[in-house]
């Protein structure tokens, strides 16, 4: 691969307004997440917590992350091509968008920015099992591209990495980065009566469409990261074959075989 999309973070280029946005969002979420986010996320957040004063320097953060799980983060301009993204994950590099949202976008943003990517994704990368899952996902992504099966695998990412819930010893918790980086969805995912919360089911997830412009209508709940890792260990080739023969399930649908949590 000759263009891996990596750029310099340009840390000196952030304005005090940029750092202020990070601080505001960080403090708001750090206050909301204890008792709501998974214990593993909270632990990872402590590692990032020393950066509460402003946007982290990716090199310094990477040095700590590398010590913990051998991952690093790299700066990118924004969304990157699928093959480039998967190649980074497969090599234990997480691409983080370098720019941050404006003060008038605290609550909603269409695309991932530095706060979503860094605050949302990096804490879980400090967890050894989740770190391995993310690398395996990257390898699986490269394979899914060859098999023209990316749509199925993307749903898995969506319903676990981005919007996953976990039943911890202390009760239902969030770990998905799209939830933990959003104040509104943190509360909605756990406390609203509106969404469905269904037990994790790999094939069910890979069959389910998702919405990108709204809070989720359905969340899937894992019992542990080991469960997630083990379920995704087999070769997906036969799974993709089965999925091709099945119609998509709509985001809000609850089927007779679904197990509500
Ligand atoms: N085991 C999957 C495959 O063979 C790859 C994968 C791993 C997918 C982990 C998702 C998560 O395709
Ligand atoms: Fe994300």
Sorted by where each starts, the structural domains of the chain and their CATH numbers stand as: 11-244 (1.10.800.10)
Within 10 angstroms of residue 4's Cβ, the number of other Cβ atoms is: 15
Question: Which residue's CA is the closest to the ligand 1 atom numbered 6?
Answer: 140
Contacts of the segment 212-217: beta carbons below 8 A, 24+ positions apart = 213/110, 215/184, 215/185, 215/188, 215/189, 216/163, 216/185, 216/189, 216/251, 217/251, 217/252
d(CA 95, ligand 2 centre) in Å: 10
The closest-lying atom of ligand 1 relative to the alpha carbon of residue 233 is: 1
Residue 86 to residue 92: CA distance in whole angstroms:
10
Residues with CB under 6 A from ligand 1: 136-137, 140, 143, 156, 232-236
How far away, in angstroms, is 118 Cα from ligand 2 center?
A: 9
- What integer pLDDT is reported at residue 1 of this predicted model? 46
Which parts of the chain sit beneath pLDDT 50? Answer: 1
Amino acid 49: pLDDT:
67
Q: In whole angstroms, give the CA distance from residue 239 to residue 251.
A: 20
ipTM: 0.95
Model pLDDT, residue 143: 98
Give the residue whose CA is nearest to atom 4 of ligand 1: 235
Distance 16 CA to ligand 1 centre (A): 42
Give the pLDDT score at 50. 65
Amino acid 236: pLDDT: 98
Long-range contacts of 57-65 (CB under 8 A, 24+ apart): 57/9, 57/11, 58/9, 58/11, 58/96, 58/98, 58/118, 59/9, 61/118, 61/122, 65/122, 65/125, 65/126
* Residue owning tokens 């094939």: 203
* pLDDT value for 51: 64
Residue 214, annotated as binding a ligand: no
Distance between Cα 175 and ligand 2 center (Å): 12
Which residue has its alpha carbon closest to ligand 1 atom 9?
137
Q: Quick one: pLDDT at residue 235?
A: 98
Residue holding tokens 């976990």? 166
């Amino acid at each position: 691969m000759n263009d891996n999309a990596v750029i310099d973070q340009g840390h000196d280029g952030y304005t005090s307004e940029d750092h202020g946005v990070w601080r505001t969002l960080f403090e708001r979420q750090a206050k909301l997440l204890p008792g709501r986010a998974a214990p593993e996320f909270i632990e990872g957040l402590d590692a990032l917590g020393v950066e509460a004063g402003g946007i982290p320097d990716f090199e310094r953060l990477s040095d700590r992350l590398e010590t913990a799980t051998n991952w690093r983060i790299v700066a990118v301009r924004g969304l990157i091509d699928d093959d480039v993204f998967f190649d980074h994950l497969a090599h234990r590099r997480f691409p983080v968008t370098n720019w941050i949202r404006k003060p008038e976008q605290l609550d909603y943003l269409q695309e991932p920015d530095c706060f979503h990517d860094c605050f949302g994704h990096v804490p879980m990368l400090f967890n050894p099992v989740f770190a391995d899952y993310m690398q395996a996902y990257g390898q699986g992504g490269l394979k899914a591209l060859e098999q023209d099966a990316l749509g199925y695998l993307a749903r898995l990412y969506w319903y676990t990495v981005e919007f996953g819930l976990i039943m911890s010893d202390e009760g239902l918790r969030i770990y998905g980065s799209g939830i933990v980086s959003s104040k509104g969805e943190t509360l909605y995912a756990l406390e609203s009566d509106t969404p469905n919360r269904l037990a994790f089911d790999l094939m069910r997830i890979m069959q389910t469409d998702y919405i990108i412009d709204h809070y989720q209508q359905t969340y899937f709940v894992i019992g542990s990261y080991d469960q997630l890792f083990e379920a995704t260990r087999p070769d997906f080739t036969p799974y993709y074959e089965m999925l091709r023969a099945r119609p998509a399930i709509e985001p809000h649908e609850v089927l007779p075989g679904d197990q509500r949590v």
